[in-house]
Chains A and B, each alone.
Chain A
Amino acid sequence: MPEFEHLWSPIKLTLELATLTTILLLCVGTPIAWWLARSRAPWKEAVAAVVALPLVLPPTVLGFYLLLLLGPNGPGGSIGSLFGLRSLAFTFEGLVIGSVIYSMPFVVQPIRNAFEAFGDRPLEVAATLRASDWDAFWSVALPLARPGFLTGAVLGFAHTVGEFGVVLMIGGNIPGETKVLSVAIYDYVETLQWTQAHVLAGGMLVFSFAVILSVMLFEKRLGRVGK
């Protein structure tokens, strides 16, 4: 069935995008979540609101501004020119940047909640046991916040896999470069290729169910160990 060969490209691209985005988000989101959980700055909720914006903004609005930002006349264009690109819009790199911003609240919020849930006490205990702040962060805060990281990573991954509006705005529909799963399904439906749409949509359904189920089982097991 030669026509199914085309199915693999968007799946691979989507998995690459979601994996890269999730890794970047854990790196960028953790310090932000830590700061939001522990800072006493009065304007920290304003920062939290900015991080949460993608939750309420229509993806097309976000996509529009990202397009301006990443386009040849925006900062993204100047950065892109360093790598010999005219613009970051309609590239895989641009898509990664957009996804990081778009999925940020789904990663930051659970991690922040987890950091806030255990309060100051474990960190104070660690300090009285000769652990520096950095040491306590790695040896106490991160392990205690593990369920939050798991939830954040899964939500960030899943949300990136399912993103559509932003991709259309800043990525377009370039096979192998920006044509991700959701766009591909849309395409197949548009062109009445129901079989291909079925395979992709059904695959997504099974995949999503498996992810959520395994996360729930894993969290339950973690909970039992902690108690």
Chain B
Amino acid sequence: MKADRAAIEAKFYGPLGDFHIDVAFTAPGYGVTGLFGPSGCGKTTVLRCIAGLNRLSGKLRVDGELWQDDASGTFLKTYQRRIGYVFQEASLFQHLSVRENLLYGSKRAKEDGPAPISFDDVVAMLGIGHLLGRAPGALSGGERQRVAIGRALLSRPRVLLMDEPLAALDRMTKEEILPYLEALRENLSIPIFYVSHDMSEVERLADTLVLLDKGRVAALGPLSELQSDPALPLLRMPEAAVMLEARISAIDENYALTSLDIAGGTLVVPGRRGKLGKRCRIRISASDVAFVRGPVPETSVLNYLPVRIVSITPPNGDDPQLNLVAALGEDGTGARIVGRITRKSRDVLMLEPGSQVYAQIKSVALLS
């Protein structure tokens, strides 16, 4: 029941431009929930409805509190909702200094009890201590967005809503901010909704994914499950990949190699990548996975893992390659990975769902 209470239950429907929004989902009350979909699928509208900035018909319950319910005529105004909202452009108040911007929300949220995260902690976590006395106009785009995130956090939100916070930034600045967002995920106890149309951001940050398409929820679930679901478009994207939770289980000082435990196997990556026991997130791209029958050959690739094939699905259009989903472990109970093979490989290796083969993983990206 506790998990239920903390969750976010949303249901919104109504017209939006030339199509209808009709979404209903329950998101966990922890971690990052990514709202992902093509431009114009309604993801920003859904976020604005959670904030009360837009109003569609429906119902919204956050952390056990009813924010909208058409049946009883409940509709809290935006300022009555304990949210933190980060807009695409930082939208700092131009007439206030950075410090005054940061304090704007926290001053008004005082009666909500003690702050879950102190001013100094926010400033330190976002690395904005040296900016406090400046005017917003004197900041770079990345600095402005960091201040906007801090300002939202200091208003004591129960849920943090982020609307493509990196979309307006250049590639370098994005890379500069992503570690701060990862730190938020690690350090905050409140749920974060993260709207994006960029899969690489979602991969790095989201735990749960709500896949939106033309105003509807196409799928909802843990990120890696959706990434390896043959029925969903994520697997068909050119940059298909899976994100897996890993833990550092051994460090080979002699060769400078790090072993990572994942569900159903162990991977080895070059370098000393952290302390023993540290949790991290890894990305295995479909294009880095090959499948091998029979005994493991002698090769320079370190990672050979027994897998059981789950599905082989034809791509759309005239793509000559097939999408393959495999589960780690001889019994196929481990984490799922994805790969691409040609029709010829399928026939020569006689691959079919249930086949036991080896997956050769050429590279693993360690994200945090």
A interface, CB within 8 angstroms of B: 121-122, 124-133, 135-136, 139-140, 143-144, 146, 225-227
* Cβ contact within 8 Å between A225 and B135: yes
Binding stretch for chain A, among B91-99, B241-249, B251-259: B91-99
- Residues in A neighbouring B278, C-beta threshold 8 A: none
* 10 pairs, A vs B, C-beta closer than 8 Å: A124-B85, A127-B52, A127-B78, A127-B79, A128-B53, A129-B152, A130-B109, A132-B77, A135-B108, A227-B135
Q: Which B-chain residue is minimally distant from A136 (CB atoms)?
A: B79
- Bound Cα distance from A140 to B83, whole angstroms: 19
Quick one: given A122-B93, A125-B87, are A131 and B108 in contact (CB under 8 Å)?
yes
Residue B329 is within 8 A (CB to CB) of chain A in the complex: no
Instruction: Rank and list the top 5 A-B pairs by shortest CB-CB distance, nearest first.
Output: A129-B105, A128-B85, A127-B78, A130-B108, A227-B137
Q: How far apart are A130's CB and chain B's nearest CB, in angstroms?
A: 4
Q: How far is the CA of A127 from the CA of B87 in the complex (A)?
A: 13
Q: A121-B87, A125-B87 are in contact. Are A130 and B94 (CB under 8 A)?
A: no
Q: Once the chains bind, are A129 and B91 in contact (CB under 8 Å)?
A: no
Residue B151 at the chain A interface, CB threshold 8 Å: yes
Assuming the contacts A121-B91, A125-B93, A128-B152, asked whether A226 and B137 have C-beta atoms less than 8 A apart, the reply is yes
Shortest distance in angstroms between A223's beta carbon and chain B's nearest beta carbon? Answer: 10
Residue in A122, A125, A129, A132 whose Cβ sees the most chain B Cβ within 10 Å: A129
Tell me, in angstroms, the Cα distance from A122 to B151 when the chains sit together: 13
In the complex, how many angstroms separate the beta carbon of B105 from the nearest chain A beta carbon? 3
Q: Does B84 contact A (CB under 8 A)?
A: yes
Query: Looking across the interface, which residue of chain A has its beta carbon closest to that of B111?
Result: A130
Provided the pairs A128-B152, A129-B155 are in contact, do residues A226 and B94 lie with their beta carbons within 8 angstroms? yes
Scoring B residues 73 to 115 as 1 if CB is less than 8 Å from chain A, else 0, what string do you get?
A: 0000111001111010101011100000000110011000000
Flag if B108 contacts A122 (CB, 8 Å): no
B51 at interface, CB cutoff 8 A: yes
For B85, the chain A residues whose CB sits under 8 A away are: 124-125, 128
The answer to whether A130 touches B135, judged by C-beta atoms less than 8 angstroms apart, is no
Across the two chains, which residue of chain A brings its CB closest to B89? A121
A129 to B83, CA, bound (A): 8
Q: How far is the CA of A111 from the CA of B151 in the complex (A)?
A: 29
* Min CB–CB distance A60 → chain B (angstroms): 43
